[in-house]
């Protein structure tokens, strides 16, 4: 019944799709966390106007489906003259999405940092930038690191949706192969395993980075 050898002619397509998914995930994670950090800082320290604007962005994105955001960017924006390729539209949707979620996550970390810690840093003669990065941000990240890791993995798994606007990612490859040889069970089982491995590798990479970033706290 089952026949995995039917997938062999499509190995090339699967690997290409895997690479697109990895590429999108790396860019989206780096950019999304950067947006989230800026957003969290703005929401924590900014004035009323900035806080309100970031709040609107976060609520708008967190309370609408990802696929609708994606379709709006790809099919809707051309009406305003903004035409993005499928790949660009997919990446931007992922960036905006992770940016909103990580803003909230990182903000929680900032809020949990005691004021006294910042005042102590000032007294010790650290510049405001040094104080923010070393005394506020890194400890804040340490507190919310597991939640942030999970969110980034969710975005990687959620990237499967970009296949709907013809981004040739791993899921696109799976759908295409399925439409050619009708081996649904085999194709989706293999692709699910590839996503699983990808998620496990991603978690390990995050853990390794965490051990490096938070090394001082661990040793003390």
Query: Between residues 66 and 101, which has the closer beta carbon with respect to other proteins?
Result: 66
Provide the minimum distance between the beta carbon of 179 and other proteins in the complex, in angstroms, as a whole number.
Answer: 3
Query: Between residues 150 and 166, which has the closer beta carbon with respect to other proteins?
Result: 166
Cα 179 from Cα 190, distance rounded (Å): 15
Provide the minimum distance between the beta carbon of 49 and other proteins in the complex, in angstroms, as a whole number.
Answer: 34
Query: Between residues 57 and 71, which has the closer beta carbon with respect to other proteins?
Result: 71
Under the phi-then-psi rule, with left for phi > 0, alpha for psi from -120 to 50, and beta for the rest, what region is 65?
A: beta
Provide the minimum distance between the beta carbon of 197 and other proteins in the complex, in angstroms, as a whole number.
Answer: 25
* Residue 94, number of CB atoms within 10 A of its CB: 26
* Residue 97, number of CB atoms within 10 A of its CB: 23
CB 24 within 8 A of CB 200: no
Query: Between residues 153 and 165, which has the closer beta carbon with respect to other proteins?
Result: 165
CB 97 within 8 A of CB 33: no
Binding site for other proteins (CB under 8 A): 74-76, 78-79, 83, 86, 164-166, 172, 175-176, 179-180
Provide the minimum distance between the beta carbon of 9 and other proteins in the complex, in angstroms, as a whole number.
Answer: 14
């Amino acid at each position: 019944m089952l026949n995995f050898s039917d997938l062999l002619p499509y190995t090339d397509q699967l690997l290409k799709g895997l690479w697109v998914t990895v590429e999108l995930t790396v860019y989206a994670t780096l950019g999304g966390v950067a947006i989230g950090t800026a957003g969290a800082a703005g929401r924590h320290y900014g004035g009323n106007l900035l806080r309100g604007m970031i709040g609107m962005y976060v609520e708008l994105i967190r309370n609408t489906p990802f696929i609708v955001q994606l379709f709006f960017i790809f099919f809707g924006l051309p009406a305003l003259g903004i035409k993005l390729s499928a790949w660009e539209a997919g990446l931007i949707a992922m960036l905006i999405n992770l940016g909103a979620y990580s803003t909230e996550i990182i903000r929680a970390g900032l809020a949990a940092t005691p004021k006294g810690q910042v005042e102590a840093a000032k007294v010790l003669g650290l510049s405001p930038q040094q104080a923010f990065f070393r005394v506020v941000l890194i400890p804040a990240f340490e507190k919310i690191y597991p939640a942030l890791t999970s969110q980034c993995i969710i975005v990687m798994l959620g990237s499967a949706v970009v296949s709907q606007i013809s981004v040739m990612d791993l899921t696109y490859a799976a759908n295409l192969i399925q439409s050619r040889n009708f081996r649904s069970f085999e194709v989706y089982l293999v692709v699910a395993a590839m996503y699983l491995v990808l998620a496990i590798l991603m978690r390990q990479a995050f853990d390794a980075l965490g051990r490096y970033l938070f090394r001082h706290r661990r040793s003390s």
